[in-house]
Amino acid sequence: MAKLAVAIAEEMKLPADKIAGLRYACLVHDIGKLAVPAEILAKPAVLTEMEFALIKFHPQQAYDILKEVDFPWPVADIVLQHHERRDGSGYPRGLKCNDILPEARIIAVADVVEAMASHRPYRPALGIEAALAEIKAKRGKLYDPRVVDACVSVFEKGFTFAADGDHRPQESQPGHLH
């Protein structure tokens, strides 16, 4: 997901410093899931309302962990906002449009595309085409139009996840984070 988010940010011509902060936020964006029981995260069925409420709390949990870290970027705020949506339907705060940090808007799109393209305990991978169709359909409603356009563009230019179908970050090279 970090690889895609960075590619989107580069396509959008974000400054290198913002891209560096985005990369770090991507790497820790789901750290709050440490507070969610593993049996809920790996449940091969639809979540109950209470289970989903626990999942929805993970951005706040992540924020509470990361706010104490002295990053040169607003990593904790980016992570807190990565499930916010343009129309206010996201969580945890129901932020809208420009109240959501640009980096969080990028993670929102990259996270959805990667999640849909990957296998989950409750469903098989849906594929890149379905993921791109989803973000295009909700472009301007849930997702920032500039981010959606940049995401579609990077795939049109040949972006792929790991060639072996493994969507985990590739091994880091010295001095480079994926």
**Is residue 169 included in any domain, yes or no?**
no
**Is residue 167 included in any domain, yes or no?**
no
Q: Note the pLDDT tens digit of each residue in 94-133.
A: 999 999 999 999 999 999 999 999 888 778 889 999 999 9
Specify the length of the chain in residues: 178
**Is residue 171 included in any domain, yes or no?**
no
Indicate the residue type of 10.
Answer: E
**Is residue 8 included in any domain, yes or no?**
yes
Contact 28, 71 (CB under 8 A): no
Indicate the residue type of 112.
Answer: V
Contact 117, 128 (CB under 8 A): yes
**Is residue 168 included in any domain, yes or no?**
no
Range of the domain at 101: 2-156
Orientation of helix 2-11 relative to helix 16-28, angle to 10°: 160
Calculated CA dihedral for residues 11, 17, 23, 29, nearest 10 degrees: -110
Count H helices, E strands: the chain? 9, 0
**Is residue 173 included in any domain, yes or no?**
no
Contact 51, 36 (CB under 8 A): no
The CATH number assigned to the domain holding 146 equals 1.10.3210.10
User: Which helix H or strand E contains 112, and what residues bound it?
Assistant: helix 102-117
Q: What percent of the chain has pLDDT over 90?
A: 81
Residues of the chain with pLDDT under 70: 162-178
**How does 7-18 read in b/e, with b if 16+ C-beta sit within 10 Å?**
bbbebbebeeeb
**Is residue 178 included in any domain, yes or no?**
no
Count of other CB atoms within 10 angstroms of residue 49: 6
User: Average pLDDT over the chain, rounded to whole?
Assistant: 90
Total domains in the fold of the chain: 1
Q: What's the confidence (pLDDT) of residue 163?
A: 54
**Is residue 23 included in any domain, yes or no?**
yes
Tracing tokens 């959606």 back to the chain, one arrives at: 148
